[in-house]
Amino acid sequence: MFNQKYILVKKQNIYSTLLIVFIVLSTISCEPDDPVTPSNTLNGKTTAVFNPDKKYGKMSDIDGNIYKTILIGDQTWMAENLRVTRFQNGDTIPNITDNEEWAALTTGAYCNYNNTNNLDTIATYGRLYNWYAVEDSRKLAPKGWHVPTIADWTELIEYLGGDTIASNALKEVGTYHWEDPFESNNSSGFTAIPSGWRYLSLNSSYVGFYGSFWTASEFDMTQAGFLYLYYFSSKVNKGVNYKANGYSIRLIKETN
């Protein structure tokens, strides 16, 4: 009789233990994702050479991509090129690989360098967006950030010494990505990468030679402001070009 009671009690203890373990595991598996930095196992690994003497922050996009950020003067910039594939309401940004289709667009789209699917390449160079994606009311930038205006870029450039020399402080050091970074020192920590551009029907031309970036400033019905850095120059070049072109995007943090 004693043995039977002992066995019965032992079985009850085992069942109770198993029930507790099940409840704990269920609770863990149902915990919500971190809304600030959601999980993304397809982030890719950048090969960009950041300034080791700078302290970088971080931010994330709706896809869960994590980016380094850098304080330059009174401005906080992304230190990597944007690679988001969705607008902030969750709608997908079309990935257009056909050259003729890209050239005819009047709505937002992106493409990858040589239409690659390599995650490390995308993490390094980011994606190229047309300006229609920049102006889309669904927004590329997460809350608290925006695509910089010409005025935002001008403040950055002036802080780094002006148009003629600011490129040196912006560009990544070395020849791992740049064909020849000239006198680059990346003293700002901005770490500009030569991701080229998509000029109408030409996909991802001049990678290694130019880093080009959209502004949020519209010029007319078909053109908007952009900037580019050239591999063998210390100058930051400003201009306007077709909205259908594909350029890189860096976001800037909004100030209170």
Domain ranges of the chain: 1-30, 57-253
Closest CA to 86 of 122, 45, 128, 139: 139
Question: C-alpha distances in angstroms, 207 versus 5, 203, 214, 231?
Answer: 78, 10, 16, 10
Widest Cα–Cα separation across the chain: 96
Question: pLDDT in tens for each of the 256 residues of the chain?
Answer: 434 443 343 444 434 443 333 333 333 232 233 333 344 556 789 999 999 999 999 999 999 999 999 999 999 999 999 999 999 999 999 999 998 999 999 999 999 988 899 999 999 999 999 999 999 999 999 999 999 999 999 999 999 999 999 999 999 999 999 998 789 999 999 999 999 999 876 666 789 999 999 999 999 999 999 999 999 999 999 999 999 999 999 999 998 7
Quote the CA–CA distance of 194 and 192 in Å, as a whole number. 7
Quote the CA–CA distance of 187 and 162 in Å, as a whole number. 14
Q: Which long-range contacts (CB under 8 A, 24 or more apart) does 9-14 make?
A: none
- The DSSP secondary structure of 44-58, one letter per residue, reads --------TTS--EE
| Helix, strand or coil, per DSSP, at residue 182 | coil
Quote the CA–CA distance of 232 and 229 in Å, as a whole number. 9
**Residues with Cβ within 8 Å of residue 247, at least 6 apart in sequence:** 128, 129, 131, 197, 198, 212, 213, 214, 226
The number of residues making up the chain comes to 256
